[in-house]
Structure 1
Amino acid sequence: MMEPMYSPETADSLLLPDPPCPSIPSLGDGECYHVFISYSSTDYQWTHSLIDQLESCGLQVCYHERDFTPGRTVLENMSDCIQESQKVLLVLSQEFVRSRWCLLEANMSLFRDCLERKPIVPVLLEPGVSVPLHLCHLTYLEAHDPDFKDKLLKVLCTPNQQLQGSTVVPFQPPSIYNGKALQPLIAVNEEGLNKWDCGQFSDMEVPDQLRLIIQDHENYRKAVRMINSVSQHKILPLWVRVLMIVITILLIIFMSSLSLFVLIWAINSSSKEVNPNLAAFTSACLICLTFALIIEISLWKTDQLKYIVKELQKAVGQANIILSEEKVLMGSCSNSKIYLVYVGLDGCKQEFAATFSEQGCEEDMFQRALAFFSSGYACCLAKRHFPFPQTSSTGHLERGVCFCQYVSQQLRTNQWE
């Protein structure tokens, strides 16, 4: 885990002496807090020093350790707490951007209506932190700014309707998170992985980016075990591959010996003269067999890599049938990396239901589409590139190609087996 750029001993020094507290805004109907604060556990000490100072000024602050209701899911708690807060404050550090921002951003897509009416206040805790793309339209506050506390209180104590067009934090509806890549999974045996082997992925722990998104962690582990079955059952063992090459070499040696025997027999024959056609044929056989061995070995490596990636994509497609219920898809285009994207398919699923309802096979067709096309679709989302021009028609993914649009385009050029 990345250490913060400041030391715990100097955490309080980032917060200056209290300026005079401005007028505290009143809470409206359904509001219990002035601000909901999201932060990484790495930044606990600094954030709680800030919380103490804000509460001493009379602001009602909401944060997960104290205000989440036990027994409810994190998503339910976060949704309700943001709904009951006037503003959302994000403490941006390297650790927050690396992990928790993806979690918060993914959760944002689940309660879009309330967030579009609330300002987001980013606080840059460390110099050099890459501000997430979805926050670039906001003017962030710097924790090292001498006037940080005064500026923050000004924002938090300004009614939301007055922040429209403000030079401190220009309020705009946030870009809703849907179809964005999460941190990819890298094979645990990547360093010693031959390109014709299949990677193995750890299913012991759910990655940070998925911990709050996937409610049933066993679904994730089951999906990874399906992917790992490729390396365990569908790839030829090394000794079998070596044996195949040895047999090929022995066959070439046998053919070369046979050709040489024919050549010697022709020389020692009673004609005392070598048939030029036979000599040419023998030489051609030796040359062709040598090239055949070289080509076979190179094609074997290439074919094995294609075979493994194809088998991995099949396994990923089956895994996505499980993960799609958690709004997560996996994608594979290599033998050592699995891309993860967060994307809701509810609208696309309804489109399949409307299309195939008369045949009564809508669920089966949707699962077949997931099995065949979801891996490629997830890779395209992760790389932000699709192998065809994006259509002008509106799909189920805001500012992007939705799954049913992708399937439709693929069916035009590929046969659905």
Structure 2
Amino acid sequence: MMDEMSSGVSVAADPSADVPPPLKQGEAFHVFISYSSTDAQWTHSLIDRLESNGLGVCYHERDFTAGRTVLENMSECIQESQKVLLVLSSEFVRSRWCLLEANMSLFRDCLERKPIVPVILEPGVCVPLHLCHLTYLEVHDPEFEAKLLKVLFTPNRQLQGSTVVPYQPPSLYNGKPLQPLTATNVESLYKWDAGRFSDMDVPDQLRLIIEDRERYREAVGIINSVSQKRVFSKWLQAVLIGVGVGFLITLEGGIGYISFLLAFNPHSYFWPLALSCQVCILIGTLVQLGLTKRESVAHTVKEMQKAAGRANVILRDEKVLMGCQSTSKIHMVYVSLDGCRRTFAETFSERASAENMFGRALLYFSSGYACCLAKRSFPFPVPAAPGHLEGAVCFCQYVSTQLSLGEWM
């Protein structure tokens, strides 16, 4: 009944499926809808249209049982529904999906038996890792509602490959961007300061990926070390600026005093010269302060990029890379470097030399590569020859191209 869509989920043809499937024993709803409260207005409008087509819809604001936890209510509602519809927005991925993913063991049994229908509400939203293989519908598609009704009207037995599955090999998720990490002090962060990131525990979106949590904490600690260094440099910079301002005040005061004494001499030309010197000193000081501030921001980002490279040397076996392009956010990608690592081994005959060069490549290039992969944008044309990453530039291609362009961090 429904053509194969973007992610490979197929629906068996059934011309008679123009009404909702009958509810079986233990089922109370045709679909359970999970959404963020910020998207309630759009979702309620959709619910009204679905119910007008005879579908039984379950959602938390109306159908959750008071006095029970959110997790207990979600689990029961999913079990009583034929399908699960997720309204994916940035806020949903940040909050509600993290709650579900963090407790995947609680939901896995019921979710593996229920078709999942992800609906993309916002263009460019980062689809959670464990939904990347599913068919998704986009609300901006002119045929969105017709496609959605076809899915919901199709019996579960005719839906193929449309359920959340446990952790899969890298071939399925390779190259997928993850939710970025935001600095815990982002609200009080100056542009030239390095952000601090929580290393208390592995974030929800990484708990099913990171096996060694101590390794993750060590990697984040390396990036946080930039902030600690910046505290010292900031105090040193403040002292130097204070000394410089004091010197300028003393100099200006001396020049001003001499100008005042000579101003009464009608034949003296020194006081206009002194005034010009004062103005030049003041302008030069302001320009220097502006340049120092801009250079300080660039220097901080550069230091965080270097720290991300050192962190990636630790995280490479976890198949996670970090990248920094600002002082307040860390971009993260799930990517396997096994193929690229073999290429280094083939390029450099001695194993020790190959490992050394691969480590140096991670140090200097992995941060930029992670940012490019997360944003799906590279500063050069995609090489014609296929690499180790389907549909994107692999790490060894990125390193080779950057070296040929003379880029070296």
Alpha-carbon deviation of 1:254? 2.1
Q: Partner amino acid for 1:242?
A: A
Decide whether aligned partners of structure 1 residues 264 and 155 sit closer, same or farther in structure 2, where only a CA change above 3 A counts: same
Q: Pick one of 293, 304, 322 that aligns with 1:312.
A: 304
Q: CA deviation at 1:267?
A: 5.7
Counting only pairs closer than 5 Å after superposition, residues 203-282 of structure 1 correspond to structure 2 as 203-236=199-232, 238-263=234-259, 273-274=267-268, 276=269, 278-279=270-271, 281-282=273-274
1:392 corresponds to:
384
Which region of structure 1 is more displaced relative to structure 2, 338-347 or 226-235? 226-235
Q: 1:42 to 1:253 in 2, by over 3 A?
A: farther
Give 1:215 shift: 1.2
Residue type of the alignment partner of 1:214? I
Task: Say yes or no: does 1:44 pair with 2:46.
Answer: no
> Using the alignment, how far apart are the partners of 2:359 and 2:299 within structure 1?
23
2:82/2:114 contact within 8 Å kept: no
Equivalent residues, number: 317
Structural mapping, 1:127-138, within 5 Å: none
Find out whether 1:103 has 2:106 as its counterpart.
Answer: no
Following TM superposition, by how much is the alpha carbon of 1:375 offset from its aligned partner in structure 2, in angstroms? 0.6
Q: Give the Å deviation of 1:49.
A: 1.9
Structure 1 residue aligned with 2:3: none
1:248, distance to aligned residue in structure 2 (A): 1.5
Query: One-letter code of the match for 1:152?
Result: P
Amino acid at match of 2:320: V
Q: Is the 8 A contact 2:118 2:135 kept in 1?
A: no
Counterpart contact for 2:75–2:106, Cα < 8 Å? no
Looking at structure 2, the residues matched to 235 and 354 of structure 1 have their Cα atoms a distance apart, in angstroms, of 44
Q: Are 1:316 and 1:331, in contact at CA under 8 Å, matched by a contact in 2?
A: yes
State the Cα deviation string for residues 134-186 of structure 1 (Å, max 9, x = none): xx9x965678x5xx3xx224515x8x9xx9xxxxxxxxxxx943222111100
TM-score, L = length of structure 2: 0.66
**How many Å separate the matches in 2 of 1:194 and 1:11?**
43
Counterpart-to-counterpart distance in 2, 1:7 and 1:359: 57
Secondary structure, aligned partner of 1:361: helix
Amino acid at match of 2:382: Q
**CA pair 105-321 structure 1, distance change in 2 beyond 3 A:** farther
- Asked whether the 8 Å contact 2:126–2:177 carries over to 1, the reply is no
Q: Which residue of 2 aligns with 1:155?
A: 158
In structure 2, relative to structure 1, the CA distance for the partners of 1:42 and 1:101 (3 Å cut) is farther
**Corresponding letter in the other structure for 1:44:** S
Amino acid in structure 2 at the alignment position of 1:409:
T
Distance 1:243 1:8, change over 3 A: closer
Judged with a 3 Å threshold, the aligned counterparts in structure 2 of structure 1 residues 142 and 186 are, in CA distance, closer, same or farther, namely farther
Residues 189 and 199 of structure 1 are in contact (CA less than 8 Å); yes or no, is this contact kept in structure 2? yes
Gap change, CA 1:389 and 1:42, over 3 Å in 2 = farther
Task: Give the Å deviation of 1:389.
Answer: 1.6
SS at match of 1:340: strand
Q: What letter matches 2:222 in structure 1?
A: M
Correspondence list, 1:78-93, <5 A: 89-90=115-116, 92=118
- Aligned twin of 1:297: 289
Q: Which amino acid is the alignment partner of residue 273 of structure 1?
A: H
Cα distance between partner residues in 2 of 1:42 and 1:310: 47
Task: Summarize deviations over 1:203-246 as a string: whole Å, max 9, x none.
Answer: 11212221101111221111111111111134435543332222
Counterpart of 1:380 in structure 2 is 372
Report the alpha carbon displacement of residue 302 of structure 1 after superposing the two structures with TM.
0.9
Q: Per the alignment, do residues 92 and 345 of structure 1 end up closer, same or farther by CA in structure 2, a change over 3 Å counting?
A: same
Structure-2 change in CA distance of 1:350 and 1:295 (3 Å): same
1:402 corresponds in structure 2 to 394
Q: Secondary structure at the match of 2:221?
A: helix
- In structure 2, relative to structure 1, the CA distance for the partners of 1:403 and 1:139 (3 Å cut) is farther
User: 1:57 — aligned with what?
Assistant: none
Q: Which amino acid aligns with 1:390?
A: V
Query: Which protein has the larger Cα radius of gyration, Structure 1 or Structure 2?
Result: 1
TM-aligned CA deviation for residue 100 of structure 1: 11
SS in 2 for 1:398: coil
Task: State whether residues 387 and 393 of structure 2, in contact with CA within 8 Å, keep that contact through their aligned partners in structure 1.
Answer: yes
SS of the aligned residue for 2:317 comes to helix
Structure 1 residue matching 2:155: 3-state secondary structure: helix
Confirm whether residue 325 of structure 1 aligns to residue 317 of structure 2: yes
1:60-209 → structure 2 map (5 Å cutoff)? 89-90=115-116, 92=118, 102-105=128-131, 145=152, 148=153, 151-156=154-159, 176-209=172-205
Residues 181 and 382 of structure 1 are in contact (CA less than 8 Å); yes or no, is this contact kept in structure 2?
yes
Structure 2: how far apart are the matches of 1:184 and 1:130? 23
Asked whether the 8 Å contact 2:345–2:351 carries over to 1, the reply is no
Identity of aligned residues (%): 40
Unaligned 5+ runs, structure 1: 13-39, 53-62, 69-80, 109-119, 123-128, 164-174
Task: Say if 1:141 and 1:152, in contact at 8 Å, map to a contact too.
Answer: no
When normalised by structure 1's length, the TM-score is: 0.65
Once residues 389 and 328 of structure 1 are traced to their aligned partners in structure 2, the CA distance between those partners, rounded to angstroms, is 24
**Which residue matches 1:35?**
none
1:388–1:153 CA distance, 2 compared to 1 (3 A): closer
Deviation of 1:266 after TM superposition, in Å, equals 5.3
Unaligned runs of 5+ in 2: 1-34, 44-58, 66-70, 84-103, 163-170
C-alpha spacing 1:325/1:384, structure 2 compared with 1 (3 Å): same
